[in-house]
Structures are given as C-alpha cells and as structure tokens.
Structure 1
C-alpha cells in the first residue's frame, strides 16, 4: 500500500492554495465544499495545494513543514487528491498514487452509476438507530454479525436495495440475529488476490476468523478483515465458533 487513505475534516481550518487558472479553480471549489478556509502561500496552515505545479513554491512550503500536493507532479506530493463519490455522509475516495487521474475518474464514474442516491440516508438512519442497535444486540460480536447480515447482498438493509433507510426499523424487529456459526471452505487456485472469486473476496471481508494451512500466502490473508483472527491449522476446525469462519487451503 503506497499511501494511507484518510479523511481530513477541514471545516473552519486553513488550507494554502497557490496558482491560477482552471486547475486552481477546481481545487478551490473542492476545498470550499469541504468548508476549508483558503489562504495564500504565506498563510499559516498544515497542508497546501500547489495548483500550478510550481516546484519552487512546493519546496518553500515543505521547508516550513507543510504537507503539499503539487498538481501533475506526483513525485513532489506528500499527499494526493482522490476522485470522490459523494453520497453525504458516505464518501468513497479512489486514488492511484498519482499514476493516472484518468483511471481514477473512470472508476468514479462506474461506481457513481452503481450507488443509489439514498445511500447517505441509510448511513444517517443507522447513525440514528445506533442506540437501538446496541440494545437489540448487546454483545459486540453478535452486533457486528447482525449488521453484516443486514447489509449483505439481499439482506433487509442491503445498501443497493430499494430505500434501505426505510427498512432499518423492520430490520431491528427481525427475530434472527445473524449470530449462528458457519464454516465455509475456500480452495485457492493461486496465491494471487486477483484470482479470488467475488464470493471468496466477500467472505474474506466478512469472516470473524480465518483457519488456514501455513502455505496460504500473506497476500490472500491481507484481504480479510483487519480484526479477523488468523489461525494456522492442519485441517478445518471441528468447532469454529459463532459467526462466520473460513477454512483456506491451496488447490491441489
């Protein structure tokens, strides 16, 4: 991973913007949408955007300890600006580390077409229901599994479904809590993450624990949730525990 993606809260904070022309105007609009206070090169700020690609301006700012983005010069950038899919408060950022802004734009357009306009309303409905969710599933593990099941494809609050925000109250009243234990087997055709099927990739993103032989590559295990337990074993477990467990083994 070449960079750590972060979301900066800029409302009311100063950001340096230098340069003129179309590129600078586009960056100004973006910063204004985020609520930033735009100042010039001499202003006091922690980050800056050099919209005209001026390496000398970038060097002066870096010497002051300012983190800098330099338009069209990724080698000079401390951070890059992603293509953004905005379903406020849901934000999806797509970055290529400066390799290709055109690719990031193309991916954004594809994702834009997939995500319903009401996705933000679902996020707000889940926020408002946070206390009710905690009361419905007091145990943290059971709560996470119930949320995963609810948001899964075809689930009662599937984000890509029809008005899922309106379904949140009905989901909270369902009898099933999504806490039953399951063990699924993934047989890997190779050690390349790109060779994972969509179903296997989805399971890795949902599993509570990953049982695997020692020869399963780290690149595959990295596709699992960061907080999922990784357990080296010679064979699948007899009692995997609550929630979703996976048994990973190499084919052949």
Structure 2
C-alpha cells in the first residue's frame, strides 16, 4: 500500500485550486461539500465557478499563479497542466499536500472515488492505477447504501451520550449499535415510522442493560484460502469479542476479524508442547462467562477432525449457548484446488475421511476394508504416521501401485502437489521435506486420466427422444 487512507479536517481551513476550467470545477464541487475556505487562482473562470464566487462560496484570485498564494493553505489542487510542476514544488516547499491532476509523479496525495451519505463517507482508491475500476465499485456501493443512512448516523450521534451512560463499555454497547445500525431499529427509522423506532430503541436498551451470558461460535475457516471462507464465518469474525484460533488458520483470514478483538492462539504442533483440549475448553468457558462473544476458529470444518463436538459438549454442560458455522473441510477444498474428483462413476462409489493420528499414536482402522480394490480415502494428520499407514495397508493386501496424491498447503499460494504410489508414500514425503499441513489421498485418479473409465451408452433413438421432449 503506497497511499495511506485518511480523512482530512477542512473545517474553516484554506484549500487552494489553481486553474479555472473543467478540471478545477470537478475538484471544487467536491470541496464545496466540506466547510473549507476555498480559493481558486486563475485569470478566468468557468461560468459555474463564477456563480459560486457571486454566492460567496469561494474566493477568486484573478491573476497568474505565484507561490506565495499558497501560504496558510492545508490542501492544494493543480488543475492547470502548464503549472503542475511549479505548483507542486511550491506546495512541497511549504509542506502542503498537493495533487497535480493526472500527474501522480508531481502529487503527494490522490483523491478517491467517494460515496457520500454525509456524515457517512466511503472512499475507494486504486492508487491511481484504475480510475474506472474505482468508479465501478463506487456505483455498486452507491446502490447498497440507502440515501437516509446519513440521517441515521446523525440520529445515532444524538444518542451517543445517553447510550454511554446506560450501557457498559465493551461487547454490550457494541451489540446495541450493531442492532441499531443493522437491525429492526434501522428498519423503523428508514421507514419513517417514529413510533416503531422509539419502541425498538427502548427495547434494545433494556435488552443490553440486562445481565447476560456470553456465547461461543464454533467457526470453520476452510482449507486456507480466505476467499473460501463463508459469508457467515466472516460475519462472526466481525462480531467476535474474542477469537480462539488454531495454528492452521490460513494467512489473511484473521485480517478479516475485528481489529480490537482479543486473539488467543491455541494451535497444536507435533512434537512440541501444546495446549490440552481441556485447557482450550476452559478458555472458551471463561471468556463466555465474562459475557463475551467468543469465536472458536478452526481450520476446515469444526466437526471434521476439529474436536468441535467435544467443545460443544463442554459448553452445553456449562449452560453456555453455542452455534456452529460449517467450513470447507480440507479433503474437499484441496481436492477441488488441484482438480482431483473424490467420486467418479466407474472408479469409486464411496469416499472415506480418516485421521492418521490419535492421542495414543497411530490411529487404528479396519485396514483390510480400506485395502480392498475400489476404495478411496483421505488421510488427515497423516504425514508423520505415513510409514506405519502404508505398512498397515500393504500388509492388509492393498495393491502397492495404488495411486496416492499428497497436497501440502492446499488452496494457498505455496500449495504443493506430489504424486506417488502407496508403496513409495514414505519415501516421497521424506524426499520432498513436507513440513506444512498436508492431506493424503489414496485410491483417486485425476480427472484428466479417468474420463474414459466408464463410457456413456447412447442409443440411436436418443436424439429423437430429446427433440420430442423439447417440443
């Protein structure tokens, strides 16, 4: 990020525009939305600017530019191509932010596309690379934000002191404002129903001032790529007071959370001291009892080798409300990322998820059943136990040529794919130095090599049947 976004207070401060044509007019239209003291410097002015001068909405210096005219200014626009370099240098010498229109090299700031619902203002910037993209995004956001949103924000400002006196600081106050801006209170306000607005407002204040217990959301973060996070999961991250997260949460996902949320890392790493499950349960219970909304953020899905069921049971036993937000489990997400179908006609009629590790070491399974022809399965947490797993399967009679696909850091930019047979699984892992989270698929073939496994029979009269059905 080259340009840091911020909002500049122009109330009763001098803003200068050098130039009197169309480009100057566009910038002055924006500045007129503020309370800045606008000065335009140009020998001649556009007719619309002359009208603003007559209405005392801006001051006109009808002469050629000299650097001293920028004295005491806090913002400068150069809207005259012939003067860009001179104006830019004069502003820089005085430490004044300057924008030379359409010349980023001579500018120290750029003006974003703006959605104005005063006092709610949304700014969209593309760092000057794609103005059309910025305008397109602005159009979409314009359509999303009601015109009365600014009036709602003003009404909220009048309530702020009263709410601060009645509602304790923290998640309860935040919960009230969430309900105010995004719930039934807003709906009543937008509908212009003053009676309903007052009733909903008082009901919300009573609710948030009553003693309350916190709650826990068990949230699946998916296989790694932030774009595979569900909308509900993202909303939970925005609402959370506390986020208790695993080590395998993909980079960028925590960036979607509320910035002031407390973050507690409880990730487990093989062969290193890690939090016990009982410790994690105790953290969830402690934070919820303090009245907080806790998000237990897990890689993949909470119910697929995520111990979500254990945590849910512990919370219910303590009378703590709990809800579950599913996520894309690693076996599904990683397979889709590399184009590996989990079920295909003529190849397999079932697909099994299993873990390679348990608290006691190697997880025990019905190896004889898994070794039968036509079986397909994915192994979670199987890298360190891969030698034992392949040995068990080979002893149970699996064909040593059974295909294996290993996906490390699936769905991420550093995703890595390795293919081998069950007979060479351990050597493949050792030679490739797999140390990131990985999932192992056994008995599956990529789509490109299995399209001809089962041909689709077409009878001679099929086309005629289709035509009759269409007519």
Shorter chain as denominator, the TM-score bin is: 0.7 to 0.9
Partner of 1:99: 129
Task: State the distance in 1 between where 2:29 and 2:101 align.
Answer: 15
Structure 2: tracts of 5 or more residues without a match: 42-66, 268-279, 301-329, 331-471
Task: State the distance in 2 between where 1:15 and 1:150 align.
Answer: 36
- Is residue 114 of structure 2 the alignment partner of residue 84 of structure 1? yes
Partner of 2:314: none
2:87 corresponds, among 23, 48, 57, to 57
Q: TM-score, normalised by structure 2?
A: 0.48
Q: Residues 151, 33 of structure 1: CA spacing in aligned structure 2 closer, same or farther, 3 A cutoff?
A: closer
Query: Number of residues paired by the alignment?
Result: 250
How far has the Cα of 1:211 moved from its partner?
A: 0.8
Task: State the distance in 2 between where 1:93 and 1:219 align.
Answer: 22
Partner of 1:215: 248
Task: State the distance in 2 between where 1:176 and 1:85 align.
Answer: 34
Partner of 2:6: 6
How far has the Cα of 1:30 moved from its partner?
A: 1.3
2:296 corresponds, among 222, 230, 247, to 247
- Is residue 76 of structure 2 the alignment partner of residue 48 of structure 1? yes
1:188 corresponds, among 213, 218, 221, to 221
Q: Residues 160, 31 of structure 1: CA spacing in aligned structure 2 closer, same or farther, 3 A cutoff?
A: farther
How far has the Cα of 1:60 moved from its partner?
A: 3.2
- Tell whether the 8 Å contact from 1:14 to 1:38 is kept in structure 2 after alignment: yes
Task: State the distance in 1 between where 2:223 and 2:105 align.
Answer: 34
Task: Please say which of residues 72-81 and 166-175 is displaced more in the overlay.
Answer: 166-175
For each residue in 1:231-251, what CA deviation from the matched residue of structure 2 results, as whole angstroms up to 9, or x when unmatched? 101456441322321111222
Q: Which has the higher contact order (CA 8 A, sep 6+)?
A: 1
How far has the Cα of 1:168 moved from its partner?
A: 4.6
Task: State the distance in 1 between where 2:187 and 2:129 align.
Answer: 31
How far has the Cα of 1:119 moved from its partner?
A: 0.9
Alignment of 1:60-209 (within 5 A): 60-152=90-182, 155-158=183-186, 162-163=190-191, 166=194, 168-174=197-203, 175-177=206-208, 180-209=213-242
Q: TM-score, normalised by structure 1?
A: 0.86
Q: CA RMSD in A?
A: 2.6
**Larger Rg computed on CA atoms:** 2
Q: Residues 48, 194 of structure 1: CA spacing in aligned structure 2 closer, same or farther, 3 A cutoff?
A: farther
